[in-house]
């Protein structure tokens, strides 16, 4: 499944705001075709790392390579071509509120590709259907959609250009356990059919267990561990122990062992 | 990566289409042409195999176009099937077999004449509806005001003072500056025209009556509508979008009492004060221009001013101010509450708030003019 080529490699990344250093020499790899779960305490800087990789936050030190190039040092054309190869699902969906679901999915296509309106409609409908949305959602505006639907439309938009990697910022937060499990399943299915690499910031232990090939843990500004869930469970690190063996973690462990 | 293509070999009645190269998003436009051409060309063929064994890469765009080709051929009466599917592509092709059973609806463009009439009709209906909403809010606001009169502790003094500072105190410099300039311009134009009749001195009459009765309050209201009305609409709209207003309601608080009343009270207090300051600044500007440009000594200006105006001239302007403030406040809050989920609607509503409040202020001014003429003020 996971081959050895790293699609993203972050080395010694330092990111801070004012006097606060959020990431302090953090290093991380995301390999081709894997689902990487990225965990850490609230406020540990998981979203900060994600935002630094996709270029929304400036860094103080360190290198970030996406598909072998550093977006910060790439010229306009290289950066555009990198941006076409990634899709981002923001925590709140970040759908454009003045566009319908279908238009939201079409938006990146409209910007980057010269497609006939017919093909654009068909592909957008296909994406919406692939994320499990029916015909009634197409013409609706984000304000008219439920939280779960917003996430699905946002995922469809993130997948609009058939990216090689998708960034998911807490994809299952705000969903009920059934919805979250379905969403996990969806991510897994899409990842397999489309051959995606997935970088998933999450708090959801079920998601970690259900979809992630590898888990990376952020604590005190550093990536303190990366590996399979079994490695995490076996780890003696105090934070990892309390995270995976706490009350909620224990249920997952229980499920793994039985 | 070689260019994408669809090679055809015919064997009797059986056509084999071999897809080669990368069928991916970068080539989607080109692939669509290839697929459409193939669909037209082979629609009469009874049996068609689409061979994917030589594909280098396939993504959703390519897979959908292959699926579309297959569907078009089948619809034309052929037997089309996909062969040579690799394991990695199978999932995608399977997935896309299920999609697009119901095509997206493109809305037909309506007749432009009908569309124009439609938009005019909607605009008129919307204007009427917003008057209804203003009346509604006025009623709710009166009820809230009466409640606070019977329970004075419910009056949000801190909030009123906060808004007074924003809409009143902080508006003083810009109001003073703009009314000063308006007064100066009126005087300059007046002197320029009246001089040809040798009636320079009447400039004072014209400027003072105009400023105190009409221009002072109107300029102030236009400034306040643009400055504070828009801010009210944007604030309340953003609060509505983020469900803050719903949160207030569920805590048993009345948004009208908590949000609208302090804002409107602040405006009703601030606008008359600003009108007074604005009128004085305008008269000052006029006096300065009369002196420097018209050569009229300040004593003469003041002497003439005393004869030209009497107390009701000043009262007319000041009486109008609180009513106009109320109008601006009501329109701004109504529009704020009308914001729905989208960012665009916030912008539209803020624009509508400014436009409608300025229009209503002018309309109200017209009604006041008739009223004061009627009672001889």
Tally of CB atoms within 10 A around B31 = 26
Query: Residue B72 falls within a domain, yes or no?
Result: yes
Q: How far is CA A166 from CA A80, A86, A203, A208, B290, in A?
A: 16, 6, 17, 16, 71
Which of A256, A255, A131 shows the shortest CA–CA distance to A193? A131
Contact yes or no for A143 and B341 at CB 8 A: yes
Query: Residue B130 falls within a domain, yes or no?
Result: no
A113 CB neighbours in chain B (<8 A) are: 25, 28-29
Does B246 contact chain A (CB < 8 Å)? no
Written as six digits, the tokens of B373 are 């003429």
**Among chain B residues, CA nearest to A119:** B32
How many folded domains does chain B comprise? 2
Residue at which a domain ends, from B64, B97, B130:
B97
Residue at which a domain ends, from B57, B82, B97:
B97
Task: Indicate if B77 and B162 belong to the same structural domain.
Answer: no
> What is the β-pairing status of strands A197-201 and A35-40?
parallel
Query: Residue B79 falls within a domain, yes or no?
Result: yes
User: What is the pLDDT tens value at each position of chain B, 377 positions in all?
Assistant: 457 777 777 776 777 888 888 888 888 888 888 888 888 887 777 788 888 878 888 888 888 888 888 888 888 777 878 887 777 777 778 878 877 777 766 667 788 899 999 999 998 998 899 899 999 999 999 999 999 999 888 888 999 999 999 999 999 999 999 999 999 999 999 999 999 988 888 999 999 999 999 999 999 999 999 999 999 999 999 999 888 888 888 887 889 999 999 999 999 999 999 999 999 999 999 999 999 998 999 999 999 999 999 899 999 999 999 999 999 999 999 999 999 877 888 999 999 999 999 999 999 999 999 999 999 88
Task: Indicate if B86 and B166 belong to the same structural domain.
Answer: no
- The alpha helices in chain B, defined as continuous H runs, are 28-41, 60-75, 87-97, 112-150, 157-167, 172-194, 202-210, 216-224, 230-241, 244-250, 255, 261-292, 298-308, 311-337, 343-375
Q: How far is B56 from chain A (nearest CA, A)?
A: 14
CB B273 within 8 A of CB B168: yes
> What's the alpha-carbon Rg for chain A, to the nearest Å?
18
Q: Determine the Cα–Cα distance for residues A245 and A204; give it in Å rounded to an integer.
A: 14
Contact yes or no for B28 and A139 at CB 8 A: no
Query: Residue B140 falls within a domain, yes or no?
Result: no
Query: Residue B106 falls within a domain, yes or no?
Result: no
Query: Closest partner residue to A192 among B91, B99, B102, by Cβ?
Result: B91
Does B107 contact chain A (CB < 8 Å)? no
Does B88 contact chain A (CB < 8 Å)? yes
SS (H, E, C) chain A: CCCCCEEEEEEEEEEEECCEEEEEEEEEEEECCCEEEEEECCCCCHHHHHHHHCCCCCCCEEEEEECCECHHHCCHHHHHHHHHCEEEECCCCCCCCCCCHHHHHHHHHHHHCCCCHHHHHHHHHHHHHHCCCCHHHCCCCHHHCCHHHHHHHHHHHHCCCCCCEEEEECCCCCCCHHHHHHHHHHHHHHHHHHCCEEEEECCCHHHHHHHCCEEEEEECCEEEEEECHHHHHHCCCHHHHHHHHCHHHHHHHHHHHC
Q: How far is A99 from chain B (nearest CA, A)?
A: 9
Task: Indicate if B181 and B84 belong to the same structural domain.
Answer: no
Q: Determine the Cα–Cα distance for residues B271 and B22; give it in Å rounded to an integer.
A: 69
The second-level CATH assignment, the architecture, of A6-85+164-257 is 3-Layer(aba) Sandwich (3.40)
Does A159 contact chain B (CB < 8 Å)? yes
Residue at which a domain ends, from B65, B97, B129:
B97
Written as six digits, the tokens of B340 are 């729905």
Task: Indicate if B326 and B182 belong to the same structural domain.
Answer: yes
Q: How far is B242 from chain A (nearest CA, A)?
A: 11
Does B102 contact chain A (CB < 8 Å)? yes
Does B29 contact chain A (CB < 8 Å)? yes
B25 CB neighbours in chain A (<8 A) are: 113, 161-162
| End-to-end C-alpha distance for chain B, whole angstroms | 87
Q: How far is B96 from chain A (nearest CA, A)?
A: 7
Which of B59, B82, B41 shows the shortest CA–CA distance to B1? B59
**Among chain A residues, CA nearest to B104:** A121
Task: Indicate if B221 and B339 belong to the same structural domain.
Answer: yes
CB A207 within 8 A of CB A186: no
Low-confidence winner among A1-5, A94-98, A147-151, A232-236 (lowest mean pLDDT): A1-5
Q: What is the ipTM of this complex?
A: 0.75
Task: Indicate if B218 and B328 belong to the same structural domain.
Answer: yes
DSSP state of B200: T
B344 CB neighbours in chain A (<8 A) are: 97-98
Q: How does pLDDT run across A31-71, given as a tens digit for each residue?
A: 888 888 888 877 778 888 888 888 888 888 888 888 888 87
Tokens 């109001």 -> residue: B175
According to DSSP, the residues that pair with B18 across neighbouring strands are: B7, B51
Show the CA angle centred on residue A122, arms to residues B44 and B64, nearest 5°: 60
Task: Indicate if B180 and B322 belong to the same structural domain.
Answer: yes
Contact yes or no for B341 and A141 at CB 8 A: yes
Query: Residue B134 falls within a domain, yes or no?
Result: no
Q: Where in chain A is the domain with CATH 3.40.50.300?
A: 6-85+164-257
Q: How far is CA A162 from CA A68, B290, B372, in A?
A: 19, 72, 70
Boundaries of domain holding B89: 5-97
Does A123 contact chain B (CB < 8 Å)? yes
**Among chain A residues, CA nearest to B348:** A98
| CATH code for the domain of B16 | 3.30.750.24
**Among chain A residues, CA nearest to B345:** A98
* pTM passes above 0.90: no
> What is the β-pairing status of strands B55-58 and A86-89?
unpaired
**Among chain B residues, CA nearest to A101:** B104
Does B341 contact chain A (CB < 8 Å)? yes
CB B101 within 8 A of CB B67: no
A125 CB neighbours in chain B (<8 A) are: 99-100, 103-104
Task: Indicate if B195 and B266 belong to the same structural domain.
Answer: yes
């Amino acid at each position: 499944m996971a081959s050895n080529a790293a699609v993203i490699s972050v080395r010694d990344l330092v990111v801070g705001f004012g006097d606060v250093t959020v990431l302090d020499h953090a290093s991380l790899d995301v390999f081709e075709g894997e689902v990487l779960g990225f965990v850490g305490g609230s406020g540990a800087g998981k979203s900060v790392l994600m935002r630094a990789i996709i270029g929304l936050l400036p860094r103080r030190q360190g290198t970030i390579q996406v598909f072998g190039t550093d977006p910060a040092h790439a010229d306009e054309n290289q950066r555009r071509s990198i941006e076409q190869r990634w899709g981002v699902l923001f925590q709140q969906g970040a759908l454009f509120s003045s566009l319908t679901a279908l238009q939201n999915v079409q938006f990146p296509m409209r910007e980057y590709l010269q497609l006939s309106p017919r093909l654009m409609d068909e592909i957008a409908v296909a994406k919406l259907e692939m994320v499990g949305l029916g015909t009634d959602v197409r013409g609706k505006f984000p304000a008219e959609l439920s939280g779960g639907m917003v996430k699905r439309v946002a995922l469809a938009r993130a997948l609009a250009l058939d990216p090689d990697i998708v960034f998911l910022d807490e994809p299952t937060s705000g969903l009920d356990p059934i919805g979250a499990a379905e969403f996990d399943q969806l991510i897994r299915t899409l990842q397999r059919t489309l051959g995606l690499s997935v970088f998933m910031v999450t708090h959801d232990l079920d998601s970690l267990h259900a979809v992630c090939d590898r888990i990376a843990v952020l604590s005190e500004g550093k990536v303190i561990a990366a590996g399979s869930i079994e490695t995490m469970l076996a780890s003696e690190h105090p934070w990892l122990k309390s995270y995976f063996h706490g009350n909620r973690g224990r249920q997952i462990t229980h499920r793994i062992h039985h | 990566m070689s260019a994408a293509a669809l090679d055809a070999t015919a064997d009797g009645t059986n056509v084999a289409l071999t897809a080669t190269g990368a069928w991916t998003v970068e080539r989607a436009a080109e692939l669509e042409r290839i697929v459409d051409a193939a669909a037209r060309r082979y629609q009469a063929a009874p049996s068609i195999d689409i061979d994917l064994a030589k594909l280098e890469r396939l993504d959703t765009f390519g897979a959908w176009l292959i699926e579309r080709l297959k569907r078009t051929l089948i619809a034309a009466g052929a037997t089309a099937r996909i062969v040579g599917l690799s394991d990695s592509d199978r999932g995608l092709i399977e997935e896309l077999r299920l999609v697009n059973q119901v095509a997206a609806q493109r809305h037909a463009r309506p007749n432009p004449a009908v569309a124009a009439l439609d938009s005019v009709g909607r605009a008129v209906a919307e204007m009427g509806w917003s008057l209804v909403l203003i009346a509604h809010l006025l009623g709710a606001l009166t009820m809230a005001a009466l409640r606070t009169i019977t329970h004075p502790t419910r009056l949000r003094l801190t909030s009123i003072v906060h808004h007074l500072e924003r809409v009143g105190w902080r508006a003083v410099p810009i109001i003073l500056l703009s009314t000063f300039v308006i007064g100066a311009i009126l005087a300059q134009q007046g002197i320029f025209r009246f001089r040809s009749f040798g009636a320079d001195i009447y400039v004072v009459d014209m400027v003072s009556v105009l400023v105190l009765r009409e221009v002072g309050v109107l300029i102030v209201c236009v400034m306040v509508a643009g400055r504070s009305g828009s801010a009210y609409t944007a604030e309340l709209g953003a609060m509505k979008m983020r469900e803050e207003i719903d949160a207030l309601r569920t805590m048993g608080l009345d948004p009208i009492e908590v949000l609208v009343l302090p804002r409107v009270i602040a405006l009703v207090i601030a606008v008359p004060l600003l009108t007074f300051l604005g009128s004085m600044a305008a008269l000052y500007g006029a006096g300065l221009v009369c002196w420097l440009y018209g050569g009229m000594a300040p004593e003469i200006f003041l002497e003439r001013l005393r004869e030209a105006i009497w107390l009701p001239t000043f009262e007319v302007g000041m009486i109008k101010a609180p009513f106009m403030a109320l109008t601006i406040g009501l329109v701004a809050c109504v529009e704020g509450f009308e914001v729905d989920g989208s960012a665009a609607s916030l912008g539209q509503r803020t624009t509508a708030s400014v436009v409608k409040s300025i229009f209503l202020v002018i309309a109200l001014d017209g009604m006041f003019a008739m009223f004061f003429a009627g009672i001889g003020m």
